[in-house]
């Protein structure tokens, strides 16, 4: 059974094809296009590439196209996409303007091009369905909660992969199996004692931190939308709601103008004076640019803030994991994040850290009580596996 996972950005289409034999997935092919202005053309090119590479004999050879979708109104989990699902996604377009619309549009185009092929969505919020209620509520009126004002959490596929893989690497197959089969059950299966406590830092264009207790999330730094939590590349991250009201009044900004600043002109880009790629910000900081250095300092302070929150919630820590573009590729940032945490058991091996990335590696000192690891994430594999499970259950 072959499943295509399509990753739709506002101007990009990336894809991976997997072949399943039972539950076992083999990656067959991957590709992608940047600067996409016409999804229909990009999807044609994607299908042509899959055929030309020999990975796919034709459309009938594909069991499903699966998507790492962001959010939908009153809907999460892994579902077959129909018009109702697309409308529920559309209802969240304004909450996730950079993320939801490309998926809605891309899935529509895929369905038109391949009417006989199931389209399957795994929502990024699904991983947080077992988060304790106290960690999901904001202190707002019930009617606001009913409108969706709550902590959702995102990067679910990535943090789920880290939950599985970190447990495997730490020799805890019971926890790995628990994490792997999470969506197949109503309640997570039992894990052995002692509990496994992991904090996963997904640091990239979008960044978030999650606490994992025996492979299940206890919370995530994102809130209602993927604009919240840590400072993002060009999105604000957490902000006092009254600061927002103040600025809107003083600068006489409309809702649309405010949304534009929060989702395109804030985050590391605003702090650093215009750069939204950490490589450029670091180069500027190294040249003595104080704004760029401040952007880095704020970002690291917020990462540490969330690590601290989950460290407490988990009652200690067995492993800290770095993943995604920033987490995998920047030893200097990992060193800063772990600086002065020796009394919490976090001590890096300087040489191992400097030499590591982007492959899997342990970068903590051999005698340190907490393992610090780099694990490249594999969100597409998580999506493909859940799509296969959905198809198998429907059969």
Residues that bind ligand ADP (CB under 6 A): 204-206, 277-279, 324-326, 329-330
Q: What residue number has its CB nearest to ligand ADP?
A: 325
Nearer to ligand ADP, 234 or 364 (CB): 234
Dihedral sign from CA coordinates of 106, 108, 109, 114: positive
How far from each other are the two terminal CA atoms of the chain, in whole angstroms?
13
Using the minimum distance from each CB to ligand ADP, give the nearer residue, 182 or 373.
373
CB of 357 to ligand ADP, least distance (A): 8
- Least distance (Å) between residue 338 CB and ligand ADP: 18
Q: Tell me the Ramachandran region of residue 322: left when phi exceeds 0, alpha when psi lies from -120 to 50, beta otherwise.
A: beta
Smallest gap from residue 363 Cβ to ligand ADP (A): 16
Q: Give the shortest CB-68-to-ligand ADP separation in angstroms.
A: 11
Q: How far is the CB of 95 from ligand ADP (least distance, A)?
A: 19
Unique residue bearing structure tokens 């034999």: 21
Q: How far apart are CA 123 and CA 251, in angstroms?
A: 36
Residue whose entry in the numeric block shows the structure tokens 């539950």: 23
When the beta carbons of 176 and 348 are compared against ligand ADP, the nearer one is 348
- Residue 204 and residue 327 in contact, taking contact as beta carbons nearer than 8 Å: yes
Q: The dihedral of CA 184, 219, 347, 287: what is its sign?
A: positive
CA–CA separation, 57 and 54 (whole Å): 7
Strand order in the sheet with 319-323: 216-220, 207-213, 197-203, 319-323, 371-374, 361-362
- Shortest approach of ligand ADP to residue 107 CB, angstroms? 19
Complex with ligand ADP: residue 20 or 67, whichever CB lies closer: 67
Q: Which lies closer to ligand ADP via its Cβ, residue 59 or residue 277?
A: 277
DSSP 375: -
> Which is closer to ligand ADP, CB of 137 or CB of 279?
279
Cα–Cα dist 79/92, whole Å: 17
């Amino acid at each position: 059974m072959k499943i295509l996972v399509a990753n739709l950005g506002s101007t990009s289409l990336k894809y991976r094809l997997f072949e399943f034999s039972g539950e076992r997935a083999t990656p067959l092919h991957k590709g992608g296009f940047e600067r996409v202005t016409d999804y229909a053309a990009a999807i044609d090119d994607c299908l042509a590439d899959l055929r030309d590479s020999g990975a796919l004999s034709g459309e009938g050879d594909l069991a499903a196209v699966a998507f790492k979708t962001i959010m939908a109104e009153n809907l999460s989990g892994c579902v077959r996409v129909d018009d109702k699902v697309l409308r529920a996604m559309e209802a969240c377009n304004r909450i996730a303007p950079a993320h939801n619309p490309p998926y809605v549009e891309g899935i529509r185009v895929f369905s038109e091009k391949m009417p006989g092929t199931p389209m399957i969505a795994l929502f990024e919020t699904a991983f947080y369905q077992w988060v304790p209620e106290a960690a999901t509520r904001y202190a707002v009126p019930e009617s606001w909660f009913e409108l969706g004002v709550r902590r959702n959490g995102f990067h679910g596929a990535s943090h789920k992969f880290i939950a599985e893989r970190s447990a495997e690497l730490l020799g805890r197959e019971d926890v790995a199996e628990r994490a792997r089969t999470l969506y197949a059950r109503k309640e997570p299966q039992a894990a052995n004692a002692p509990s496994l406590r992991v904090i996963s830092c997904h640091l990239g264009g979008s960044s978030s931190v999650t606490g994992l207790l025996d492979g299940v999330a206890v919370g995530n730094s994102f809130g209602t939308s993927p604009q919240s939590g840590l400072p993002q590349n060009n999105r604000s991250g957490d902000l006092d709601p009254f600061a927002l009201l103040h600025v809107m009044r003083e600068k006489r900004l409309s809702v649309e103008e405010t949304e534009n600043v929060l989702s395109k002109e804030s985050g590391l880009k605003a702090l650093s004076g215009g750069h939204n790629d950490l490589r450029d910000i670091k180069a500027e900081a190294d040249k003595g640019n104080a704004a760029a250095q401040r952007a880095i300092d704020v970002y690291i302070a917020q990462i540490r803030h969330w690590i601290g929150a989950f460290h407490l919630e988990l009652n200690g820590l067995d492993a800290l994991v770095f993943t995604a573009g920033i987490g995998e590729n920047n030893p200097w940032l990992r060193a800063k994040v772990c600086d002065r945490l020796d009394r919490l058991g976090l001590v890096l091996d300087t040489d191992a850290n400097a030499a590591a990335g982007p492959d899997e590696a342990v970068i903590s000192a051999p005698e340190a009580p907490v393992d610090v690891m780099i694990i490249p994430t594999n969100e597409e594999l998580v999506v493909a596996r859940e799509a296969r499970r959905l198809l198998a259950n429907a059969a």
